[in-house]
Chain A
Amino acid sequence: MKTAKTATQNACKLCNPLGACLAFRGIEKCVPFLHGSQGCATYIRRYLISHFKEPIDIASSNFNEDTAVFGGSHNLKLGLKNVTRQYKPEVIGLATTCLSETIGDDVDMILKEYVRLFDNGEPLPDGKPLPIMIHASTPSYQGSHIDGFHAAMKATVKQLAAEGPKKNLLNLFPNMVSPADLRHLKEILKDFSIPFVLLPDYSQTLDGGPWAEYHRIPEGGTPVKAIRETGMASGSIEFSSVLDDEKSAAGYLEKTFDVARYTMPLPIGIKQSDAFFGLLEKLSEKPLPEKYEDERRRLVDAYADGHKYIFDKKAIVYGEEDLVVAMTAFLREIGIVPVLCASGGKSGMLKKRLKELIPDCEEAGIKIRDGVDFVDIEDEARLLKPDMLIGNSKGYTMSRKNNIPFIRIGFPIHDRFGGQRLHHLCYRGTQELFDRIVNTVIAEKQGSSPIGYTYM
């Protein structure tokens, strides 16, 4: 049992700026920029690249000792100029780090000064208009990567969303999901013929085709023009269970521009997917397209075909709190007992939201823990003896050591190919998850059987 409690061991979370960089990659012609040490940008690039297998360029203001003493203003301005010259972005997504926040750099003021330089006659880099600079405050000593993700998106709408006559337009804030999920969401909204803004949209920037030349900023992403219109939308859907109103982009749009906000868990499982599609039917005043009706029917059929293999199996599920909530609800509807729902995040809402969604939480013996690391989870695993682990690839060590079958979902997936192409959402994503879970149980049974049946 773990007795060392003070330190975090094998963290089940990442730092705030990583989430911001990921989210900024979902804006068209945007370069993420970290105000801090060179290492922050490079480590985060490496971490993201290992999952997405795409070039991910993140600029850095590259602090040195002088910067730390005298402030980051000079480096930031020089960095902005250089990145503008070399990348020709329309947007620079600027996120802070623990370093710049601790020395107390007033980034908004530095940005104002920077803009003023050009007003006062300094030649523009390459004679083009200055890129839009969006600033998100993301000190690593607060929260975790998911907070950075939301902070970047809130800062984006705060800066860009404009007032105007209401339009037939739906904003969708999908949370931190895979490029495949984003593509699927777009397909759904198109099939409903709903004009929409999906933010962020890194479905192409982080999972795109080959290049004949280096694309300094890969094609794809949510256009600035579209983000401006989010303030005129008739509604926003945001997938989240634990996001605080103050930190939410949809919350900001509701408060500032009176854009109706529909908050719901990530649509994983039939019930949550039904809720999402139901809302789309209501908002679009159109029936569910036949295609999704079919997907749902196949999923219900698959549930029937596969239910026995998995009934009453015990699972540990971990990851970002929103993912854990949605996955737990899904596991409950297929008869799996999520004996531990764990997250490295700590919004303070995990328990409450899970209990709302799964009223029999306590009777079912579901343990809920936030702010944990992988050593905590492993300690629990030894006692709970789960039949499977469900979460990102960082649980592999624990799975191997304790011989627990492992299903990789979410981010990061560093030890398997194709993490960016995994579906999690809606009937289609649920089908994929269900198939993988059932097959994991069957494979385990087959592998440990003395007979080795060649049929199920």
Chain B
Amino acid sequence: MEKIGILEGRQKQVYEKNGDGKEFDIKCETTSLSGSVSQRACVFCGSRVVLYPVADALHVVHGPIGCAAYTWDIRGAVSSGPELHRLSFSTDLKEMDVIYGGEKKLHQSLTELIAEYQPKAAFIYSTCIIGLIGDDIDAVCKKVSQETGIPVLPVHSEGFKGTKKDGYKAACDALLKLVGTGSTEGIGKYSINILGEFNLAGEAWIIRKYYEEMGIEVVATMTGDGRVDDIRRSHGASLNIVQCSGSMVKLAKMMEEKYGIPYLRVSYFGIEDMSKALYDAAKHFSDNPAIMQAAKQLVSREVSELYPRLQQFRKALEGKKAAIYVGGAFKAFSLIKALSSVGMSVVLAGSQTGDKDDYNGLKEMCDEGTVIVDDSNPVELSKFVLEKQADLLIGGVKERPIAYKLGIGFCDHNHERKIPLAGFVGMYNFIQEVYNSVMSPVWQFAPRKGGLS
């Protein structure tokens, strides 16, 4: 087998922990190397994933058809009510629009769509060429907002203007314009917003129920099962609880600055982190000991039920090796802990958008020999999963066929998942997913296992 090398220009984005005392200085938060087949998407993608679950808003993609077509109903972000977010709207710009400008078409499109769908707000996403042809989408949005009386929010998400992370920021900027425009009347003292939770397969509902059981009021979830009116009054909450490393910390910071709302960073994956997320919220409201009391009861009940059920998998999974490649690195921390609770180790941990702190944390957590990668690609990922003899790859749609081709189990931990993996129940589902793939008898036919030939 030919040895696969790492591209010049990417070598500093790959690190193997091997106790050689070499300084850990991973390069990250940079644009992808041209020609490297990055697994990342673009600025637009970052904005689109964050805002997508706001279910009663109109999401209009201003540009040629592709960007809207590829993001039509692609996430497992479910809604308990309206489902406007599952439709795809595009100004579908043509050559003449590119030459003469797309402002008129955008204005006309918005006027018609708002009249027809009666949304609570509209998000207008700029795509690559909008940044070039000079459409003033701010002006169009302002005009339509005046004409229709609903917030019409430009999202500056031109694909080439940075990385996916810049798209998160653009989305947070748009959300911040909504925050603070609603009445906070009736919001109690023990109240939170859940940020960075997208209600994939109903995960936000699970989390919300936990907090509510503890006696905490949830004002808004952003953006899972999101509603415009909730977001407008979210500045009335006492605390922001932020999940998902990169995507919504920016909004939490801006809300702290503007409204004095503190925030906590949490993860809802795995027993340890899920429990901590509840305890941290309870600690914040320490003047009400009943909240901590309820948290303890909840955790104890859930864990005592979950733990024995998890043990049935442990015997089979103990000693198996996993590779993790996810969007945000913060999730990788939880996954490492969750896997270790059934005796699995991690041989590769990487992300599309992690920052220095994330990677330092990963390095501390990981065993010797673990590879840490930023903004990786199929060639590198396959090289490492094979070299490190992983039994499982955790990733998204684009990583799945890499694993399957090479005869390796796979767990989808990305936007398209249809099984909730958050919360205590999600931990069970996660391990079951892992088990179902790693232990499948089909791998006996894979070439790397001899292929029975």
Q: Which residues of A contact B (CB under 8 A)?
A: 2-11, 13-18, 33, 36-47, 49-50, 53-65, 67-68, 75-76, 78-83, 85-87, 97-99, 102-103, 139-142, 144, 210-216, 394, 397
Q: Is B139 an interface residue (CB 8 A)?
A: no
Contacts of A43 in B (CB 8 A): 41, 45, 66-67, 70-71
The reply to whether A60 and B35 contact each other, CB–CB distance below 8 Å, is yes
Nearest 7 pairs of A and B residues by beta carbon: A39-B42, A15-B66, A82-B35, A79-B35, A214-B382, A4-B112, A79-B34
B-side contacts of A38, CB under 8 Å: 31-32, 38, 40-42, 159, 163
- A4 partner residues in chain B, CB cutoff 8 A: 109, 112-113, 115-117
> Could you say which residues of chain B place their CB within 8 Å of the CB of A36?
128, 159-160
Distance of A410 Cα from B193 Cα, bound (Å): 44
With A6-B109, A53-B401, A142-B94 already in contact, the answer to whether A42 and B42 are too (CB < 8 A) is yes
Cβ contact of B378, chosen from A8, A55, A140, A397, cutoff 8 A: A55
B9 partner residues in chain A, CB cutoff 8 A? 82
On whether the beta carbons of A68 and B41 are closer than 8 Å, the reply is no
List, in ascending order, chain A residues with CB within 8 A of B39's CB: 42
Chain B hits for A102, CB < 8 A: 98, 128-129, 132-133
| B316 interface residue (CB < 8 Å to A) | no
Please measure, in the bound complex, the distance between the C-alpha atom of A43 and the C-alpha atom of B382, giving whole angstroms: 20
- Asked if A86 and B7 make an inter-chain contact with CB atoms under 8 angstroms apart, the answer reads yes
Known: A59-B37, A86-B36. A141 touches B94 (CB 8 A): yes
Partner of A99, one of B45, B93, B109, B132: B132
Chain A nearest CB, measured from B453 CB (Å): 11
Give the docked Cα–Cα distance between A213 and B387 (Å). 10
Q: How far is the CA of A56 from the CA of B32 in the complex (A)?
A: 18
- By a CB distance below 8 angstroms, the chain A residues around B127 are 98
CA of A63 to CA of B161, assembled, Å: 8
Cβ 8 A contact of A14, one of B1, B69, B407: B69
The answer on a CB contact under 8 Å between B36 and A64 is: no
Interface bits B153-180 vs A (CB < 8 Å: 1, else 0)? 0000001111100000000000000000
Contacts beyond the supplied A3-B112, A141-B98, A211-B447: 20 A-B pairs with Cβ under 8 Å = A3-B115, A4-B112, A7-B113, A33-B35, A37-B43, A42-B42, A47-B70, A53-B400, A53-B404, A56-B401, A62-B38, A64-B31, A65-B160, A68-B131, A81-B35, A83-B37, A99-B129, A102-B98, A102-B133, A141-B64
Task: List the B side residues contacting A59 at CB < 8 Å.
Answer: 35-37
Interface of chain B residues 132 through 161 with chain A (CB within 8 A): 132-133, 159-161
| A66 nearest CB across to chain B (Å) | 9
Given known A6-B108, A210-B445, contact A99–B160 (CB-CB < 8 A):
yes
Are B89 and A8 touching (Cβ within 8 A)? yes
Greatest chain A CB density within 10 A among B88, B161, B400, B451 is at: B88
A-contact bits for B59-79, CB 8 A (1 contact / 0 none): 010011111111111000000
Return the chain A residue nearest B105 by Cβ.
A6
C-alpha spacing A58/B112, complex, angstroms: 37
A141 touches B69 (CB 8 A): no
CB neighbours of A142 from chain B (8 A) = 94-95
Do B379 and A13 touch (CB < 8 A)?
no
Partner of B161, one of A41, A57, A65, A98: A65
B126 within 8 A of A: no
Least CB separation from A14: chain B residue: B69
B77-94 contact mask (Cβ, 8 Å, vs A): 1 or 0: 000000000111111111
Give CA–CA (A56, B88) in the complex, Å. 25
Interface of chain B, main secondary structure: loop
Which residues of B are found within 8 Å of A214, using beta-carbon distances? 4, 378-379, 382-383, 386, 402, 405-406
Q: Are B162 and A10 in contact (CB under 8 A)?
A: no
A-B contact pairs, 12 of them (CB 8 A): A8-B91, A15-B64, A37-B128, A38-B40, A38-B163, A43-B70, A59-B35, A60-B38, A63-B160, A64-B160, A67-B160, A214-B4
How far, in whole Å, are A55 and B123 apart by their CA atoms in the complex? 33
B34 touches A40 (CB 8 A): no
Q: Shortest Cβ distance from B34 into chain A, in angstroms?
A: 4
Q: Is the CB of A14 within 8 A of B65?
A: yes
For residue B408, give the distance in angstroms from its CB to the closest CB of chain A. 11
**Which residues of chain A come closer than 8 Å to B445, judged between CB atoms?**
210
Bound-complex Cα distance A322 to B379 (A): 36
Total chain B interface residues with beta-carbon distance under 8 A: 83
Residue numbers in A under 8 Å from B116 (CB-CB):
2-4
* CB <8 Å contact, B69 and A61: no
Give bound CA distance, A213 to B60, whole Å.
Answer: 42
In the complex, the chain A residue whose C-beta lies closest to that of B448 is A212
Which chain A residues lie closer than 8 Å to B356 at the CB level? none
Residue of B nearest to A414 (CB): B74
Q: Which residues of chain A have C-beta atoms less than 8 A from B8's C-beta?
A: 85
Q: Does B33 contact A (CB under 8 A)?
A: yes
A39 to B159, CA, bound (A): 7
Chain A residues with CB under 8 A of B406: 210-214
Interface: B428 (CB within 8 A): no
B66 CB contacts on chain A under 8 angstroms: 14-18, 40, 43-44, 98, 140
> Chain B's nearest CB lies how many Å from the CB of A395?
12
Question: Which residue of B37, B42, B163 is within 8 Å of A57 (Cβ)?
Answer: B37
**B365, CB-defined interface residue at 8 Å:** no
Most buried by B among A65, A103, A141, A216: A141
Min CB gap A148→B, angstroms: 10
Q: Do A99 and B128 have beta carbons less than 8 Å apart?
A: yes
Q: Within the complex, which residue of B1, B35, B133, B398 is in contact with A42, where a contact is CB–CB below 8 Å?
A: B398
Find A61's partner among B35, B73, B128 (CB 8 Å cutoff): B35
CB nearest to A100 among chain B residues: B128
Q: Please state if B34 and A212 are interface contacts (CB–CB under 8 Å).
A: no
A347 CB to nearest chain B CB (Å): 14
* Given A9-B88, A62-B38: A213 in contact with B1 (beta carbons within 8 A): yes
Q: Which residues of B contact A58 (CB under 8 A)?
A: 37
> Is B398 touching A49 in the complex (CB atoms < 8 A)?
yes
Contact A55 B401 (CB under 8 A): yes
With known contacts A8-B89, A42-B39, A13–B69 Cβ distance under 8 A: yes
A98 to B128, CA, bound (A): 8
- Mask of B399-442 contacts with A, CB within 8 angstroms, 1/0: 01110111100000000000000000000000000000000000
Set A8, A57, A83, A87: member contacting B92, Cβ < 8 A: A8
A10 x B88 contact (CB < 8 A):
yes
B-side contacts of A2, CB under 8 Å = 116
B39-54 to A contact mask, C-beta < 8 Å, 1/0 = 1111111000000000
B398 contact set on A, CB distance < 8 A: 42, 45-46, 49
Cβ-closest chain A residue relative to B44 = A39
Choose from A14, A39, A144 the contact partner of B41 (Cβ within 8 Å).
A39
Q: How far is the CA of A85 from the CA of B377 in the complex (A)?
A: 14
Contact of A103 among B38, B87, B90, B132 (CB under 8 A): B132
Which B residues are CB-close (under 8 A) to A60? 32, 34-35, 37-38
Q: Which A residues are in CB contact (< 8 Å) with B42?
A: 37-40, 42
| Contact of A213 (CB < 8 Å), options: B72, B128, B386 | B386
Please determine whether A42 and B33 come into contact, CB atoms closer than 8 angstroms.
Answer: no
Q: For A7, A53, A397, which residue has the most chain B Cβ atoms within 10 angstroms? A: A7
Do the beta carbons of B379 and A10 come within 8 Å of each other? no
